[in-house]
Amino acid sequence: MESLVISDIRARAVIAPLQRPIRTASGSIEASPLVLLDVATEQGITGRSYLFAYTPVVLRPLQALAEQFAPLLRGQPVVPLARQEQFEKQFRLLGLQGLLGMLVSGLDMAFWDAMGQASGLPVVRLLGGEARPVRAYDSWGLVDPARDAAALARSVERGFRGLKIKLGGGSLEHDLATLRELRSIVGDAVALMVDYNQSLGPGEAIRRVRALEPFGLEWVEEPVAAEDLQGHAQVRARSPIPIQTGENWWFARDAERALSAGACDRMMPDLMKIGGITGWLSVMGLARAASMPMSSHLFIEASAHVLAVTPTCDWLEFMDFGAAVLAHPCQPVDGCVTARGPGLGIDWDEAAVARYALP
């Protein structure tokens, strides 16, 4: 494979429609604010990835920050580990988190995509594995079982073996009523997960988690503030249900801190925060050493590649924020997602990109 050399970085901001808006305890996501990254090379190969900005407020800053990276990268080879070491050195005093951490992680994914395209192989093959179906769960926000009953049933009909909803928008009684109705809709064979989106204190989290035990939940996710590792450890120690966290860890050191604190039973890093594919590889080693199940958070296209080589692979979260701007959106088959290539299998629908571009 010819060595690739970076020639330019392009970033475009879009607000793409969602098939299903996501309501959480801290607010609603009605559309998908994305920054599309293109890493151009002197060899004519372009690596692609996207960033999910959570709010349109940071789209322009993220886009501007990406453009500032072009002078730092022009003429540099597409070697993901070397580039991450370069960023760690250049930003040692600032630290890799926030918008900077998101961008560094997104660029890493684009580097791997470029290498896959240059070799004509899916990234999973570059990682030493092969494309295989990874079980997925359909990820929802807050639900109204009466209003959403038909759509929830369709998730099961599509073959999803698991389903996650968000809680924390009301009282414990409301949580219990929601889960009772949800079980009646999807049946007992479907794995159920719940996500409190950091909305509780440790004491209230313990009270609620204990009350949820009869529903046979797969996990309770982020019951307390993500950075409160001791709070998570307290809840975990008194919880009859596995505690899940990790989507807000920044790079491998955050994962190590959480494991050292005993903060979780299962982990689900986010590729955009954990350091991209290169960062994921470091964390999956920690997960293997701890015998801890490892799931993904968002970014279904890239997650299918890394989960396929993860020794403690658990679940792929199916929450499709990029579909509206992709030429070939990811589609689950029998409740599973399989990595596509070459690269990460990402191609922009340029007409859609133009339609949803930030004005």
Q: By C-alpha distance, which of 316, 346, 314 is closest to 328?
A: 346
Asked if 169 and 140 count as a contact pair (C-beta separation under 8 A), the reply is: no
Tokens at 78, concatenated? 């597409």
Query: What stretch of H or E contains 121?
Result: none
Q: Which residues contact 46 (CB under 8 A, 6 or more apart)?
A: 38, 39, 40, 114, 117
Spatial strand order in the sheet of 46-52:
6-24, 27-41, 46-52
Place of tokens 């909305």: 199
Asked if 146 and 129 count as a contact pair (C-beta separation under 8 A), the reply is: no
Q: Among all residues, which ones are annotated catalytic?
A: 166, 297
C-alpha span between 121 and 345 (Å, rounded): 10
**167 CA to centre of own chain:** 19
**50 CA to centre of own chain:** 11
Q: By C-alpha distance, which of 103, 67, 73, 99 is closest to 86?
A: 73
